[in-house]
Structure 1
Amino acid sequence: MTCWPKCNVCVLEARIVPACRADDIKLTSSLRGTTTEQQQQQQNHRILERPDHPCLLVRVETEFGNDITVGGEVVQDAFIDDGSLGPSHKVLCELVDDDVDKAGGQYFVPIMGIDESQLDNIKSGETTLAAEGAVFLDGALQIPADAQIEYGTIDDNDGRRLRQKRRRSLSTTGTKRVLVIRVNAADTSTSATISELSNNIFGTYGDTVTMKSQYNQCSYGKLQIEPFVGRTETGVYVNGVIDVNIGNTMNGSDRTDIESAVVVAAKNKLGNLRDDYDHVMLCLPSGSSSNRWIAYAYVNSWLSVYNDRWCQKLSTQVHELAHNFGLAHSGSGGISYGDKSGMMGYSYNEDDSPKQCFNPAKSYELGWYSDKVVEWDPLSQGTWVGTIVGVSDYGNKQIANSKVVVRIDRGGNDLYLGYNREKGMNSGVKANGDQVTIVEEDEGYSKSNFIAGLNPGKRKTFSNFRNSGRTLFVDYISTDSSRNEAKVAIYFDDCVYPGCCEGSLCETAPPPPTSAPTARPTARPVSAPTRAPVPAPTRAPVPAPISIANKDIKDSPIVDPILYEMVPNPKRQRAEYVEIYNPGSTKINLSDYQICFGKGTKTTTCDQLTNNFYLGSGEYYVLCRDQVFMEENNMLPAGRICHQDAGNNFMIRHRNQRVFLQRDNSPVDTVEITNANRNREKAYVRKGGCNTADTENSNDCWQWREPAMATIYGDDDQTLSEAGVEYDIQSLPPFDFGSNETYTIGDTAGDEIFWDDVDP
């Protein structure tokens, strides 16, 4: 005799002994259409079916939420619910062969009578479950109390009599035939027509940005999504999308009940859904589960389900199908969907955007770039230095010896590095564009966690790496003029690259940079002296305000850089910056220099320029307050990069003061800022021909000039335009600037005020 403690149901020789109250056992679909007396009689004597095979454990990931706005984008917050809508993930049993019919035509059924914690470590789509005495009851697999439960894998069961059916491989390569089911319920239908769904998902009628195109481009053709076209086993012709009718009403219904009804109706109309198609997408009408859900998918499996309009949204389509391929979510800052740098974060209410692929951890899992992956253990292998390219340049044969993903072994929860280059199929990335991104992810089915997005000249530290007592640095050294390549170094604090390099790679590692990461700007509109000490760069990204070319600075034996330009009194103080120039013929290690402020000959505050940067001959170095703020708001012109000081402390604290450039605590150049109050918004610029550093009378070489660029807000969305951007705009904390004026930073983008266009 086998018993279920929930309602004291017992089975003796496969028949129910009526030890359970009538209202504790709901009628199954087999009882519909009978009289009440017949139902009661059948309920007390119905046969309970036992499964013939182990079931396959499959995790379901559900995205809940109402429309919210994140960074100006309408997205969905996956965890906006308070638990009343159900868990964001759960584990179901996938049935095979005749067990599907025993369960009323369902492929996936809930598991009752087992502690959910026992399913935490299963491998979705791989782990099997067999329970002694289990039966199908009310659309679920009921496991009796104290039943012996056996876990296995598909491989374990292939050779056994249980005949677990191995499905078609769900690898991330090859051609996948997809069936899309549009649903007509009793009271409403899916909003999009068959033609609209076909166009949105497959591009049948000319849509160029679709689930099909995005997977094809991100995988470089290694994964092809195609609509199922042809006749089903029941003789019905399908051209990718087909209507299925159900008798249920959507309003007030539960989404899982609607899914069950659609699966039964589709199976009756089309045949075996699991075995005849690689993936099936159910597009349900709106109205179920209070409409507070977006979509859900079965992990490492074949089925995904969408709430009406979300079946048309690119990010949702790619996201849910990626669950089918075995990917978990991409989180950031404690938000499970918070990583906006790839497709496993938020869903967006947009048909043809965002055009983006996946973060480095997910790219590693998908395996599309396996020939350009580095597996690195810094403790045993030492320093790593190399070039990382974005997925958009994976197929670029003109870039040699580049990598797409660097995986740093941490003995679990490993680090993954990638270059989130913003172009091509990744041109619409929502966050961290053109940054070296670092994420962490554990083995198996695991959510990744975003750690950092680095700009050139910035690095991320990892203290006590793997309990070694050493601090690991990930250093984004520089990028090339086209921004297609990111030079990255991985090293420890006791062997800082480029001054030190350890390990076998150092025998062939590239030397330290010999020039700044980008070409310097073109000529400033001032008089030109004789000739330049070095040839001008081959490419000037944009015309720059008040810039003087190499020919405007005379030859000089000096070996130190010089102060070159600054904006001490912009309308908004976050626009402060200081620019430094190397007029000599050799590169300069800027880590030896400090920027200082003071009065007279005395300095009051000093900040180290950088921990590791070489300024090439004829190159510029722009020191600004908040590099991330500036780049995230698209304030840099093409090819220009700003930097922060080593301690991120830089600010011009007073409008009228002396600025010092020091080496080893001794001034090598200085200038007194005067009349800043009368020159608001203007740049203080070194005159052409004044190439010699002067610690006493340098003001004779400086003049106030108008900036010649514009950075404006659009009227509609207050997004920064990219045209004519030149000045390095930065953020700063609130403080008093004197002159009876106090400036306080607010929370809105309207805090930034920018210059209008000014003719040079």
Structure 2
Amino acid sequence: MPNFSRFAIVAVVLAAANWVNLATAHRGGDSEITHRRLLEGPHECILYLKEMQFEDPTLRNSSWSCEVGGVEMMDVEGISKDWIDAHDPVSGESVLKTRDAYVQQSAANGASTMFVPNGASVSIERLSEDDSRRKNIASTKTGTFKTLVLRVIDSTGAAYSTLPQLQDDLFTDSANVRTQYAACSYNQLIIEPASDINAATTPGVAEITVTGGVASDSNFEALARTKATEVYGNLSSQYGLVVFCQPRAGTWLAYAYVNHWASFYNGFWCSSLTAQMHEIGHNFNMDHSGKGTEEYGDRSGYMGYSQNSDDTPIMCFNAAKNYQLGWYNTGQQQLSVNPVTFAGTTQTYVMNGINEFKADGTNTNTIVLRLELNGDADTTAGIDYYIGYNRQAGINSGTEMAQDQVVVLQKTGGGGTGIGKSLQLAALSVGESHVLQTFNSGATSVTINFASVTTDLKDATVTMAVSGSTPTQPPTQPPTQPPTQ
């Protein structure tokens, strides 16, 4: 497969010449003039998964977009999300290659969409490790992320909040995305305001005015990104994260691109602690935390449903996300075991909440326990299980579900450290058990029991009883003596 130049792609997509004007009919007989450009020859763009929350928790939207030249993000039409999903793309690490596709741009609002018609050549491939376009936010759960917050003003003058208030909501008040990522990671992940922006007044927080559109426009994101690039230059090369606080419009809550630097918020949701943590969690490659049939049903951590609250709740993430993040992987505090190797035995673990983590490894108890099934062998649909003690204390004092209970989770896809949805299977009180029956093709069951807890609720004793017999080695035969002469 040829190595197509991304610079050539940008030149073709953004070229002003040779556009074909088309009239597209709307209901009521009106029409909209659109410009269409055939992408002659081979072209490519980087796939990103866009996850959008709505104020109605039963709604969500998950779709693939394509970023061209690190600047323009376009929706993709003509191929279904199911088709893209079937090719196992990794957000920010996979390239969509097309031939005979075209870009259509609305003359009314400038919105660009990539169309892949029937008969067009299309493929999805993984970017090489040394490709400069490959995003690595997913593999970077520690370090300092220089962050720019943009208050976006539309052409009517509509905007949300003020620069000082946004600086307070995101950087300086008692609880915000900066303080909570620092607290949950034990200062391993720092979100730092961009000190080169408004350093004397509102460091890291600025505003841009989009003169060509209003917040309800379908392409308002594109207009805001274009204006931000015009004012501040290439955003991805200068900032680890960029937060767009947009004027209130519609019933969407917020959205972000997975393994990417950008997140977008609808009005007052930019001040919501849970929305900030959730969307930037997507930037850091985390998927949703569900329970039962509810996509966001696990409210023990921030990857469940968001709520309109400024400084609360104070919590972190569930055990599946904690293992993926790797913040507590010191000494015996994070463990990964294959239960089948313990067939016929009962293992005992003393578990603590994340508030008891010791960076020097002096805590010999377990905070995160992973039970390996086939997650590493099948990173698309493989399953592993995770056990955690959701202690309601300290940095997790505001957890909203399964407080002081032992939580059993299933994660599908991503193996131990990649992106995958988690599902809360059980929240156990003392004396309760949950049985997992999928090990060893169903021949081995694993029973997780919350055996006891100390009076201060600090140390939870959890047992793992594995059915079956302990594997035995075949008997060793003594060497045959040579015959006597």
Query: Is TM more than 0.5 here?
Result: yes
CA distance in 1, matches of 2:456, 2:183: 21
CA contact (8 A) 1:331 1:338 kept: yes
Q: Name which of structure 1's ranges 215-224 and 256-265 shifts more when overlaid on structure 2.
A: 256-265
Return the offset for 1:397: 6.9
* Corresponding residue number in structure 1 for 2:481: none
- Aligned CA RMSD, in angstroms, stands at 3.0
Choose from 59, 68, 76 the match for 1:111. 76
Q: 2:248 aligns with which of 286, 301, 307?
A: 286
| Alignment partner of 2:367 out of 397, 404, 420 | 404
Could you say which residue in structure 1 is the equivalent of 2:124?
151
Richer in strand (by share): 2
CA distance 1:392–1:136, change in 2 (3 Å): same
1:601 corresponds in structure 2 to: none
CA distance in 2 between counterparts of 1:283 and 1:15 reads: 34
Paired residues, what number? 428
Q: How far apart in 1 are the matches of 2:96 and 2:360?
A: 48
Query: Match for 2:356 among 369, 374, 393?
Result: 393
Distance verdict in 2 for CA 1:419–1:147, change over 3 Å: same
Aligned to 2:391: 421
- Which is further off, 311-320 or 380-389? 380-389
SS of 2:457's partner is: coil
Equivalent AA in structure 2 for residue 295 of structure 1: A
Structure 1 pair 49/492, CA: closer, same or farther in 2 (3 Å)?
closer
Matching residue of 1:381: 342
Q: Is 1:303 matched with 2:262?
A: yes
User: Which among 39, 59, 65 is matched to residue 55 of structure 2?
Assistant: 65
Query: Larger Rg: 1 or 2?
Result: 1
Which of 350, 362, 367 is equivalent to 2:321? 362
SS at match of 1:368: coil
Distance 1:469 1:275, change over 3 A: same
Partner of 2:190: 224
Once the two structures are TM-superposed, the CA of residue 462 in structure 1 deviates from its matched residue by: 2.4
How big is the shift at 1:89?
0.5
How do 1:726-741 and structure 2 match up within 5 A?
none
Task: Measure, in 1, the Cα distance between the counterparts of 2:77 and 2:363.
Answer: 56
**DSSP-derived class of the 2:24 partner:** helix
State the alpha-carbon separation in 2 of the partners of residues 319 and 276 from structure 1.
23
The verdict on how the C-alpha distance between 1:51 and 1:89 changes in structure 2, with shifts beyond 3 A counting, is farther
Q: How far did residue 133 of structure 1 move?
A: 2.6
Match of 2:232 in 1: 270
**How far does the alpha carbon of each residue in 1:334-386 deviate from its partner, in whole angstroms, 9 at most, with x for none?**
10001011110011111111101001111111111122221111112343211
1:483 alignment partner in structure 2: 457
Does structure 2 conserve the Cα–Cα contact (< 8 Å) formed by 1:416 and 1:438?
Answer: yes
Q: Distance in 2 between matches of 1:319 and 1:231?
A: 25
* Contact in 2 for aligned 1:51/1:134 (Cα 8 Å): no
Cα distance in 2 between the residues matched to 1:236 and 1:111: 42
Shift of 1:189: 3.0
Specify the alignment match of 2:479 in structure 1: none
Q: CA offsets per residue over residues 232-280 of structure 1, 9 Å max, x none?
A: 9xx99982111111125647x23x4211111111111111122211111
User: Using the alignment, how far apart are the partners of 1:112 and 1:249 within structure 2?
Assistant: 23
The alpha-carbon deviation at position 503 of structure 1 amounts to 8.7
CA distance in 2, matches of 1:219, 1:15: 50
Q: Does the 8 Å CA contact 1:168/1:275 hold for their aligned counterparts?
A: no
Q: TM-score, normalised by structure 1?
A: 0.53
Shift in CA distance, 196/51, structure 1 to aligned 2, threshold 3 Å? farther
Deviations 1:314-335 (A, max 9, x none): 1110000000011110001210
Give the conservation status (yes or no) of the 8 Å contact 2:40–2:99: no
Q: Return the offset for 1:310.
A: 0.5
Alignment counterpart, residue 154 of structure 2, candidates 143, 161, 185:
185
Matched, 1:492 2:469: no
* 1:645 corresponds to: none
Equivalent AA in structure 1 for residue 435 of structure 2: T
Task: State how far apart, in whole Å, the 1-side matches of 2:81 and 2:388 are.
Answer: 36
User: Does the 8 A contact of 2:247 with 2:267 survive in 1?
Assistant: yes
Change (3 A) 1:369 1:464: closer
Q: Give the drift of 1:113.
A: 2.4
- Distance apart, 1:493 and its partner CA: 4.9
**What is the alpha-carbon distance in structure 1 between the residues aligned to residue 123 and residue 447 of structure 2?**
46
Deviation at 1:117, TM superposition (A): 1.8
Q: Cα gap change, 1:272/1:389 in structure 2, threshold over 3 Å: closer, same or farther?
A: same
- Helix, strand or coil for the counterpart of 1:476? strand
d(CA) in 2 for partners of 1:237 and 1:119? Answer: 45
Mapped to 1, the partners of 2:436 and 2:202 lie a distance apart of 54
Query: Cα–Cα, structure 1 residues 494 and 337, in superposed 2: closer, same or farther, change >3 Å?
Result: same
**CA deviation profile, 1:36-56 (whole Å, cap 9, x unmatched):** xxxxxxx6xx86566986211
Q: Render the CA deviation track for 1:590-633: whole Å, top value 9, x for unaligned.
A: xxxxxxxxxxxxxxxxxxxxxxxxxxxxxxxxxxxxxxxxxxxx
Residues 313, 351 of structure 1: 8 Å contact kept: yes
Write out aligned runs for 1:743-758 (5 A).
none
User: Is the 1:188–1:249 contact (alpha carbons within 8 Å) kept by the matching residues of 2?
Assistant: no
Cα distance in 1 for residues equivalent to 2:350 and 2:197: 50
- Structure 2 matches for 1:25-104, cutoff 5 A? 27=33, 48=38, 54-66=44-56, 77=57, 79-80=58-59, 88-96=61-69, 100=71
**Structure-2 residue corresponding to 1:510:** none
Change in Cα spacing, 1:463 to 1:130, as seen in structure 2 (3 Å) is closer
The Cα shift of 1:179 comes to 0.6
**Partners of 1:397 and 1:265 in 2: how far apart?**
46
Instruction: Give the percent of matched residue pairs that are identical in Structure 1 and Structure 2.
Output: 31
Query: Could you say which residue in structure 2 is the equivalent of 1:135?
Result: 102
The Cα shift of 1:143 comes to 2.6
Measure, in 1, the Cα distance between the counterparts of 2:42 and 2:435. Answer: 55
Q: Which runs of no fewer than 5 residues in structure 1 stay unpaired? A: 1-13, 29-42, 67-76, 81-86, 101-106, 159-163, 496-501, 505-760
**Alignment check: 8 A CA contact 1:434 1:483 kept:** yes
Task: After TM superposition, give the deviation of residue 477 of structure 1 in Å.
Answer: 1.1
Cα distance in 2 between the residues matched to 1:95 and 1:398: 45
Q: 1-side partners of 2:115 and 2:337: how far apart?
A: 47
Partner residue, 1:473? 447
Instruction: Output one character per residue of 1:39-79: Cα deviation in whole Å (capped at 9) or x when no partner.
Output: xxxx6xx865669862111000000124xxxxxxxxxx1x2
Q: CA deviation at 1:464?
A: 5.8
Match of 2:410 among 430, 437, 440: 440
Q: 1:342 is matched with which residue?
A: 301
Q: Deviations over 1:192-221 (max 9, x none)?
A: 211111111111xxx121110100010011
Residues 360 and 418 in structure 1, CA contact (< 8 A), matched pair in contact too = yes
